[in-house]
Structure 1
Amino acid sequence: MKVAMLNNPVVVVNPKMCGGVERMALLELDALEELGVDAKYYVRGFLGSDSRVEAMKDFRFGSDMGRRYYAWFAEKAADADVQHSQNAPLIALVSKHKNVLLHVHNVTTFPYYDLAKKNYDRCIFACCSSFILRELLRNNPSLPRERCTLLLNGIDTNLFSPSAETTPERPRILFTGAWIWHKGIRVFLDAMKILEDRGLDFEAAVAGSPYLYDTGDSQEWQSESDANIRASISQLRSARVVSVPDHSKMPDLYRSSEIYAFPSVWQEPFGLGLAEAMACGVPVVATKVGAVPEIVEDGRSGVLVEPGDPRALADAVAALIEDEGLRKRLAREGRKRIEERFSIASHARALYGIYRSMVG
């Protein structure tokens, strides 16, 4: 079977460190290859070397950039058995292919799905969480329910796995992700200040950077965001920035932490970092937003708090710092939760099943 994947034209893909949509696509390439699927990933730009990934050579910003990008893909992927769009729904307006899989990764693309309604008869909509599936149908009432399916995200549970237990001198609380408001970076830093004021002895590790998407005019505000966040971190005696040059090094970062904080304040479509930390056996404190409650069972495989509330986040983190038994139980159940429901192996099998149903 031959599959052509398409990425959103906004993003330049960096395999060493990229967003969740691109990370899932790269994981799918590897997992599908093991299942005998010949998959190729078409992107606007690629900062790596992989024969399975092809970047558009003459991409340029402009009013017609989307049309040119989608037309380029449609021509390249004409002989594929399935065209698989990764958060790029407008391909349904350009491609004439009979088998188009529209992979729905977040709510930001919802307005575009209605534009493709005349082509629904040859599209399947695969949603990365029950939350996204529910919201897609609510926001697009004309979309046929029978063409929508759930395709839960998955992670590499062999790469992201627990390590031998250690007893650090100071507990480390970890934040990872883009340094933008909706990922909750400010909530995290405010919560750490509350813990400092209470006299707790800990280390707050902040990994990430300003938003990774390249929209052509984002360098100035990215630099400003970076400077502002670093200034805020420097004002906390417990906090420091942790540099992670490659995503393959992330398991070590998770394993070196006693608690992982996921303070997102937007309608989170999934949360790969959250799932990775749980797979590494790290107890998590996360917010009740979007699909997060699908991953974290409150009080069983993690702790959930209300979004945008630094004090609630601080209280939950403090409770874990003070209760080693609770940390161990949540860590054990968190790992079990990811193994049973969110592995890349089970994701790939489900995706392959969707392909087969489309091809016949």
Structure 2
Amino acid sequence: MAISLKSKNKTTILFVDQALSFGGSVVVLGGLVEAINKNSYRSVVVGEMDESILDYHMQGQAKIHVVRRLFNYAQWEKVTSAAKRIKPQFLFKLVIYFMSAVRSIANVIYIVRLVKIILVEKVDLVHVNNGMSNFEPVIAALLLRRRFIVHFHGVEKPGFIHKLLLNKVDRFIIISDFLYMALVENGFPKNHMTVIPNPVQKSHALSSNEKNVRKQYGLSKKDKIFAIVGRIVRWKGHIEFLNSAFLVLENLPDAKALIVGDFSDGDASYQDEIMEIIKNSGYGDRILMTGYVKDVSRIYSIMDVCVHTSIEPEPFGLVIVEAMINGVPVIASDVGAPAEIIKNKVNGYIVSPFMPTKLAAVITELLINDELRSEIGRRGRMHVQENYDIESYAHSVERVYAEVLGTPE
């Protein structure tokens, strides 16, 4: 049972995040920790990134514990990728079951450390931030009979262990209607799901000096900038972005393209592939790879158009709302949740990443038409301000906490 609020003034929430590098789930968690009602809740965060990075995103608003698994999700992805080559199918499944058992045994120490933190910090509720793939904190919460919720930021299919735990979860938080439907289709129980779309943090409202940022990246005032923002992983569609970018650069001499982000825990070979394509394109002097940018709002200050080209269904698309709150018009992929955020040709554009000519035409139109670009940007900002406010988001999550714990809001 959860510890009653009557026994102390604040409810302690333990947020457990398994991210190994910067990403949308960490940004959203930081926003929640910053905006949550400090008179009612105390935040404790367990993460696997460096403490300085976690503290930066949590804005110093949470007690932080760095605890790392012996067998993390990146290692598991390598195992499953290698196992896919195994034939026949029954042997593949046997290997996966065996390696899943190895992974569980290897991470027993991680569970023990979580149990200790829950006891020492007097945790009332565990907020698991990365779906059921992050199942170790679920086990820790069950062992100590603490209430817990699972926050999904991506599509998952429940494995054997997950299926055993599904009906134990007090509540699932889902970040989009698209993700809700995908999870239900994959066998997750819809009766315990609450859809709460991701918010935009206040820190992502435009504040940087455009002149200084342009100078930093060697860009002139006349340069028209279009960019893709996010981790360099194959499903984010950087090559598809380049296919359109080359057409834009061919027709607009003042245009320049930015690729903002690095491969982090992604595939380094994919980044090498991108760099080779740029090198052989003839446009290498007009395409800038910035690497990881700690404060991405500085990039939005110089951006004329934000391009989102995910080639697999996007669970939400945090970059989309971040760009929109900064008044930057967005052209987003037509697969997944972006269409829930953008009304095509009203407050942004929805275009298939597999149609480079069409995508290039929309980018070009926005770059050359100042009035259209300004109007689409204005409508986008207004839409995000009205629908993706961080305080409203925090209140929605707090309502879930109150319902799960059986306490008044």
Taking structure 2 as the reference length, what is the TM-score of the superposition?
A: 0.76
Percent of aligned positions with the same letter in both sequences? 20
Stretch moving more, 38-47 or 110-119: 110-119
Task: Compute the RMSD of aligned alpha carbons.
Answer: 2.6
Shift of 1:139: 1.2
Q: 1:294 aligns with which of 324, 340, 361?
A: 340
Aligned equivalent of 1:106, options 154, 162, 174: 154
Q: Aligned runs of 1:1-360 on 2, under 5 Å?
A: 1-8=11-18, 11-13=19-21, 18-32=22-36, 34=38, 36-48=40-52, 49=55, 52-56=63-67, 59-61=69-71, 63=103, 64-78=105-119, 79-89=122-132, 90=135, 91-96=137-142, 97-107=145-155, 109-112=156-159, 115-118=162-165, 120-140=167-187, 143=189, 145-157=190-202, 159-161=204-206, 168-210=221-263, 212-213=264-265, 221-222=267-268, 224-234=269-279, 235=281, 236=283, 237-246=285-294, 248=295, 250-360=296-406
CA offset digits 1:299-353 (Å, max 9, x no partner)? 1110110132222211110121232221111101110111111122111111111
- SS of the residue corresponding to residue 77 of structure 1 reads helix
Deviations 1:4-60 (A, max 9, x none): 11112xx335xxxx1111221122221125464101111234241556220126x43
1:82-105: CA deviations, max 9, x gaps? 111011422434531341101011
Q: What amino acid sits opposite 1:4 in the alignment?
A: L
Unaligned 5+ residue runs, structure 1?
none
Could you tell me how far 1:266 is from its partner in structure 2?
A: 1.1
Q: How many Å apart are 1:161 and its aligned residue? A: 3.3
Residues 261 and 286 in structure 1, CA contact (< 8 A), matched pair in contact too: yes
In structure 2, runs of 5+ residues without a counterpart are: 1-10, 72-101, 212-219
| Separation in 1, partners of 2:318, 2:182 | 19
1:170–1:201: 8 Å Cα contact kept in structure 2? yes
Alpha-carbon shift at residue 69 of structure 1 (Å): 2.4
Question: C-alpha distance in 1, partners of 2:166/2:335?
Answer: 32
Change in 2 beyond 3 A, CA 1:105/1:114: farther
Give the letter aligned to residue 358 of structure 2.
A
2:20 counterpart letter in structure 1: V
- Relative to structure 2, which stretch is displaced further, 165-174 or 180-189? 165-174
Whether the aligned pair in 2 keeps the contact of 1:283 and 1:334 (CA below 8 Å) is yes
Q: Tell me the alpha carbon deviations over residues 167-204 of structure 1, each in whole angstroms, 9 at most, x when there is no partner.
A: 94121111111222211100111111112333553111
Count of residue correspondences: 340
In the alignment, is the contact (CA less than 8 A) between 2:241 and 2:353 conserved in 1? Answer: no
Describe the SS at the equivalent of 1:178: coil
Asked if the contact 1:170/1:202 (under 8 Å) is kept, the reply is yes
Contact 1:183 1:265 in 2 (8 A): yes
Taking the aligned partners of 2:252 and 2:371, their CA distance within structure 1 comes to: 22
TM, length-normalised to structure 1: 0.86
In the aligned structure 2, how far is the partner of 1:314 from the partner of 1:254? Answer: 20
Mark the CA change 1:163 to 1:295 in structure 2 (over 3 Å): closer, same or farther.
farther
The farther-off stretch of 90-99 and 149-158 is 90-99
Q: Match of 2:157, SS?
A: helix
Compared CA separation, residues 238 and 45, structure 1 to 2 (3 A): closer
Letter of the aligned partner of 1:39 in structure 2? S
Work out the CA distance in 1 between the residues paired with 2:26 and 2:247. Answer: 35
